[in-house]
Every structure is written in structure tokens, then in C-alpha cells.
Amino acid sequence: MIEIQYNDRQKRIIEIVKEHQPVTSEKISKLLNVNRSTIRPDLSILIMTGILDARPKVGYLYVGDQEDKVIANHIRNVKVNDLKSMPVVVDEKTTVYDAIVFMFMKDVGTIYVTSNGYLSGVVSRKDFLKTAIGGNDIRKIPINVIMTRMPNLIIAFSNESIYEAAQRLINCEIDSLPVVERLLIDNSEVYKVVGRISKTNITKFFVELGTKEFGGLEDA
Ligand code: ADP
């Protein structure tokens, strides 16, 4: 992002407009104790850079940051449910070999593992590579031997914001989160896998965001 460097007088004009808007150039010049002609070029720059708006017969208004707020607001309102894709799931008795073939067929980077239908683990490309270069017989080892397992799994819920999910992906340095529903079975908590949020989902969303026009400033 390009950071615009305003001079001291321009910064003071911004503060005056924020405080007194809508405000005429006459009032701004009085508050600054300078001639109107002195601040004319400053006002032109502030309008050109989008921080101020000039309304004829009304005066100057502060509009800076508003568009950023609209975008931030929009991102925080989008839910995991709106972007999640189909999960790719195997049972924990599946062999590493079969799981690798399945991963290629489904064209994903992470597979979720279930035990009795509920989430028990996650396996990524690197887990498979580690197992393969370790000289193991991948046709014999079940996937639950190599997976990252409960309770160390990082998950997401459908009603969370996509912003929270993206933060979790970055903070935990992983590529995807299983989207789950929490259930109580025989007094113990289990998770049903209902989707997947990956860095690809977030990138697609980012691209869509880039093609949008943010006109609804009143949402900010
Ligand atoms: P890659 O294999 O491409 O590095 P990740 O960065 O997603 O993929 O995985 C790195 C490690 O984190 C792997 O050991 C994987 O099992 C584990 N992992 C991946 N996703 C999760 C998750 N949602 N929760 C816990 N661990 C995970």
C-alpha cells in the first residue's frame, strides 16, 4: 500500500475537517490563521488523494479510511459456512498407500480422518512424505499411525467469520481447517466433519473481493 506523506498544514486541515465537518474553506483558513489562497493547493491534494470530499455549497467532508472500513466489515461478516468446500475424509483404518491415491484423486493437500464417523485426525502431504522416505511399508501402515490426532487438531465452525478462520490458518501455520459440528454422544464430545476451509478458499475469496466495487459506505 502506498503511504501518502502529508505536510503539517495538510495534517491540520484533516483534523479540522474531521472535527468541524462540513466545513468551508473560509472557516478552515480562519482556524489556521492563513489566507484562503494558501490552503487551496492543500485542499486540492487532499481531495485528489481521496481523504476529503468537497460538496458545493456544503463544504469539505472527511472520507478517508471509509472504504477500508467497508472492506473490513465485509470480510468480518462473511462466514465459514459461505466459503467452505467439501471435506475429503477417510476412515482411520485406511492404509497410507490408499490414502495417498485418494488424495491425488481428490486433488487436495489435506485429508481428514474419522473414527466411527467422527473426526480423529488430519494428514497432510508432508506427513505422507515423511512416512514414505522413512522406508515404511505404506501398503501396510494404517493412516492413524501417521496422522496428527485429537486433541491437537485445529478446527473451525460454520458460524465463525472467515476472518477468524484465516487468522487461525496463519497463526498455526497450516493449510486447512476441518469445519465441524460439535455433538455429545454418551456424554463425550465428538466432531462431525461438515466441510473444509483451506488457503485456497481464502485466496478465491480475496480474488472475488478484488473484483467488487465497494459503494456501500453507509455499511461502515
Ligand atoms: P503441508 O504438509 O503442506 O506442510 P500443512 O502445513 O497443513 O501441510 O501441515 C503441516 C503439519 O500440520 C502436518 O503434520 C499436518 O498433519 C498438521 N496439520 C495440518 N492441518 C492441521 C489442523 N487443522 N490441525 C492440526 N494439525 C494440522
- Domain ranges in the chain are 8-77, 81-198
pLDDT at 118: 97
177 lines ligand 1 (CB under 6 A): yes
Residue type, 63: V
Q: What's the 111 CA to ligand 1 centre distance in angstroms?
A: 10
88, 89, 110: residue to mutate for ligand 1 pocket, most atoms within 8 A of CB: 110
CATH architecture for segment(s) 81-198: Roll (3.10)
Ligand 1 atom 19: residue of nearest CA = 174
* Ranges of residues in the chain whose predicted pLDDT is under 70: 1-3, 65-67, 213-220
- Nearest one of 109, 120, 113, 108 to 94, comparing CA atoms: 113
Predicted confidence (pLDDT) per residue in 65-91, tens digit:
666 777 888 888 999 999 999 999 999
Helix (H, G, I), strand (E, B) or coil at 64: coil
Backbone angles phi, psi at 59, to 5 degrees: 130, -165
Ligand 1 atom 25: residue of nearest CA = 153
150 lines ligand 1 (CB under 6 A): no
174 lines ligand 1 (CB under 6 A): yes
42 lines ligand 1 (CB under 6 A): no
Here the cell at position 155 is 478446527
C-alpha dist (Å) from residue 83 to 34, 108, 175, 181, 182: 54, 16, 15, 16, 19
pLDDT at 2: 54
Give the integer Cα–Cα distance in Å for 26 and 45: 17
CATH architecture for segment(s) 8-77: Orthogonal Bundle (1.10)
Give the integer Cα–Cα distance in Å for 182 and 119: 10
Give the integer Cα–Cα distance in Å for 118 and 130: 25
- In this structure, the number of other CB atoms found within 10 A of the CB of residue 204 comes to 13
Predicted TM-score (pTM) of this structure:
0.74
> CB neighbours of 62 closer than 8 A, spacing ≥ 6?
14, 17, 18, 21, 51, 52, 53
Ligand 1 atom closest to the CA of 148, numbered from 1? 16
Residue matched to cell numbers 465459514: 80
Domains 8-77 and 81-198 share a fold: no
Q: What's the 75 CA to ligand 1 centre distance in angstroms?
A: 25
Q: What's the 177 CA to ligand 1 centre distance in angstroms?
A: 9
Burial 101-136 (b: 16+ CB within 10 A, else e): ebbeeeebebbbbbeeebbbbbbbeebbeebeeeee
